[in-house]
Amino acid sequence: MIERGGLERLLAAHPQVRRLRVAFSGGLDSSVLLHWLQGLALSGYMLDAVHVDHGWRAESADWARHCVRAAAALGVDCQVIAVNGRPAPGESPEAAARSARYAALAATLDAGSALLCAQHADDQAETLLLQLLRGAGPKGLAGMAADAALGAGRLWRPLLETPRARLRAYAEQQGLLWLEDPANADPAYERSWLRQEIMPRLAVRYPALTRTLGRSARLCAQAAAAEEALAAADLAPLREGDTLRVDGLLALPAARRDAAVRGWLLERSLPLPSAAQLGALPELLTAGDDRAPCLRWPGAQLQRYRGRLHAFAPLPALAAGSVIVWPEPAQPLCLPDGSRLELRPVHGAGIAAARLHGQPLTVRYRRDGERFHPAGRRHAQTLKKLLQEAGIAPWLRSRLPLLMAGEQLVAVAGLGIACDWTAAADAAGYALAWQSQAASATMPRFV
């Protein structure tokens, strides 16, 4: 008997959800979930399934066909999505497959849809132990959430409090046919090793193992939620644009400071540092500006400048001396670092449209010795000095696009327009818009 309580709580909490989409691998757990949901005949809800083909094995296509047939036998449509689940260097196969799978599944959801996954109580217990062995904190030890956002929709796990044995009993009673993934019995995979070698031994000594570990996961989830709420409160007075005030961070106790920075990084969709990497944060916050303090880890970096902490993904290298031709100024120009320039029509401001018309435009980056006379200044100065005075962060100074008309410097993105290229008060002009993830929100986007 599978209890409906978990599903009913999810349905009640999200009345906007009308489509239930089952993540259908064809294994025992998802076969039970799909069969059970179809048997409930929920009024007012659409039920369908989606199978992700990771392309790992020659039989992947056979598995996809099995899922389509099994779903059709229940009167349920099943969509098959192929993904590349092969791991990158240094990435575990499980993590690579999971990332690819959830990215593909998220893309199928809208605001009225929920993806239902068949993870159960034993899976939750294994997850908690794996996270514990990896040294996770409360958020990791919370395991899998029964309800979470995924893409534009929701991710639900209605069987999270149901033990594996109950699902197997249901499958056998209903005469279901399912696929057995060889990886589930391969001890080369962490979870399989834990399931085959460790969990049975623990269960002999602790018969209520699955239930008690599930309770621990729920308690850790509560602790993680409390930590996140405190971190959000701590962050509020520290924010300046998309940076944080260093003095405010230093005033926080270490544990709260670390939690605030982790929360801030998650907001920015950046990977989190390890505990050891985050342990170097105080040194970063207190180092002299002349040391260009920086803290890096795969996928992200922190930099401090003029009392503010910045976070961003690693910046791609720029080819020395590169010149980018802007053939159609009426269209945005995509630059090699992923940023974008655009000329937007304005009146009485920006770059003089009359002067710009017909000029061959190019974009390049700083070289040594450029001089620039921006509008509003009495005379030209070195670009280096102007960037320092404007408070442009050192790691951005070599990345600011310089708009050139022939050999004349027209404008510097994020800084200003040359005085002899500025539109008159009664004339048409163009604002130069620069969109870049690397640039701070406190930097001008238009000049």
Q: What are the tens digits of pLDDT across the range 165-224?
A: 999 999 999 999 999 988 888 898 899 999 999 999 999 999 999 999 999 999 999 999
Q: Which helix (H) or strand (E) holds 63?
A: helix 60-73
Beta bridge partners of 94: none
For residues 370 and 411, what is the distance between their CA atoms, to the nearest angstrom?
A: 12
Token readout for 119 is: 């993870």
> What is the greatest pairwise CA distance in the chain?
87
Q: Are 40 and 80 in contact (CB under 8 A)?
A: no
Do the annotations mark residue 85 as ligand-binding?
no
Query: How many Cα atoms occupy the beta-carbon half-sphere of 411 within 13 Å?
Result: 26
Span 54-64, pLDDT tens digits = 877 778 899 99
The candidate with the shortest Cα–Cα distance to 51, out of 93, 74, 75, 21, is 21
42 is in an annotated binding site: no
pLDDT at residue number 153: 97
Question: How many CA atoms, within 13 angstroms, populate the side-chain half-sphere of residue 314?
Answer: 8
* C-alpha span between 188 and 348 (Å, rounded): 68
323 with 299: CB under 8 angstroms?
no
Q: Give the tens place of pLDDT for each residue, 45-94.
A: 999 999 999 877 778 899 999 999 999 999 999 999 999 877 766 667 77
CB atoms within 10 A of CB 299: 12
Q: Which residue has the tokens 């005949």?
A: 41
User: In the sheet where 402-405 sits, what is the strand order?
Assistant: 323-326, 361-364, 402-405, 408-412, 416-417
| SS3 category, 260 | helix
Cα–Cα distance for residue pair 434/416, rounded to 1 Å: 12
Q: Tokens 């249901």 identify what position?
A: 170
| Stated pTM of the model | 0.77
Q: What is the DSSP letter of 64?
A: H
Smallest CA-to-CA distance from 63 within 182, 157, 154, 172 is with: 182
247 φ/ψ angles, rounded to the nearest 5 degrees: -65, -35
DSSP reduced 3-state for 37 = helix
Domains in the chain and their CATH numbers? 4-222 (3.40.50.620), 237-312 (1.20.59.20), 323-435 (no CATH)
For the record, the structure tokens of 46 come out as 């659409």
Average of pLDDT values for 270-286? 93
Question: Could you give the 3-state DSSP secondary structure of residue 254?
Answer: helix
- Check whether 23 has a pLDDT greater than 90: yes
Share of the chain above pLDDT 70, in %: 96
d(CA 442, CA 422): 23
Over 90: is that where the pLDDT of 334 sits? yes
pLDDT at 259 over 80: yes
pLDDT at 99 over 80: yes
CA 261 to chain CA centroid, Å, is 16
Span 368-392, pLDDT tens digits: 788 999 998 888 899 999 998 988 8
Residue 28 is labelled as binding a ligand: yes
Instruction: Give phi and psi for 264, each to the nearest 5.
Output: -65, -40
Residues 6 or more apart in contact with residue 157 via CB below 8 angstroms: 116, 117, 118, 119, 144, 145, 146, 147
Stated length of the chain: 447
The CA distance from 227 to 229, in Å, is 5
- Tell me, what's the pLDDT at 442? 46
